[in-house]
A and B are shown apart, each in its own frame.
Chain A
Amino acid sequence: DTGVSQDPRHKITKRGQNVTFRCDPISEHNRLYWYRQTLGQGPEFLTYFQNEAQLEKSRLLSDRFSAERPKGSFSTLEIQRTEQGDSAMYLCASSNQLNTEAFFGQGTRLTVV
C-alpha cells in the first residue's frame, strides 16, 4: 500500500495521559499536514510541514500539542495531558507540490475518557 498510513487507527486514553500518533506520507511527497475532525465538522487545520520544517501552526494547536517530522519523512503528533475535548479524528495528509491535491490517511480516532 503506497498511500498515506496512520497509526494507530483507534486510541482510547484516560484524561491526563499523553498520546502520540504517527503518519507515514506518500514517499515522494514533501508536504505533510495534520487536521482534526469532529462530528459534523469539516477537517480543521492543525499544522503543516515542508520536508522537516514546520511552516505553519493553527491557533487551534495549544501548547499541549506538538508535532515533529525529524527526517522529512514520517511525522508524529503528540498530545500531552489529554482532555475530553481532544476526542476527535486526527487526519494526516500529504502532497507533492502546492497546486496538487492532498491525499489523506485513514485517520486516528482518539477517545478521551
Chain B
Amino acid sequence: EDKVVQSPLSLVVHEGDTVTLNCSYEVTNFRSLLWYKQEKKAPTFLFMLTSSGIEKKSGRLSSILDKKELFSILNITATQTGDSAVYLCAVRSNSGNTPLVFGKGTRLSVIA
C-alpha cells in the first residue's frame, strides 16, 4: 500500500526564519510527488516533482526530490505570517488508475 509520511507534524517559527518540511514515501512504481498548501479550505497546488535532483522554485518556496532515498523537502525562506498553513505532500503511482495519496501534512505557524 502506498504511504506518505511528513515531518514534523507541526512547527512554529518566527517571521524571517527558514524552514524545511520533509516528506518520505513508499509507492509502487512512482510517477510524481506533489506539494500543496492548505489554509482554511481547499489545498492549492505548489509543485509537482518527477525527477531527482531538479529543484523547483517559486519565489521564497523551493522543493527537491530524491528518488533514490524516497523523499522530498519543501523549503521556505524568509517566512511571513501568510505562510502559516498546512503543507501537504502527495504521491502518485504509475500503476493503473491510482489517485493521489496524501500525508497528514505539516502545520506551519509563523509568528510575528
Chain A positions near chain B (C-beta within 8 angstroms): 4, 33, 35, 40-45, 48, 50, 55-56, 89, 91, 93, 98-107
Contacts and interface: CB of A to CB of B under 8 A. Distances in A.
A99 B103 contact: no
Sort chain B's interface into a size bin.
Answer: 20 to 34
Given A45-B99, A56-B97, A98-B31, A91 B42 contact: yes
Given A50-B97, A98-B31, A104 B44 contact: yes
Interface of B: 4, 6, 31-32, 34, 36, 41-45, 48, 50, 88, 90, 92, 96-105
A54 B52 CA distance: 33
Contact of B43 (A43, A44, A56, A98): A43
A48 B6 CA distance: 24
A49 B43 CA distance: 20
A42 B41 CA distance: 12
A42 B104 contact: yes
Contacts of A98: 31, 92
A107 to B, nearest CB: 5
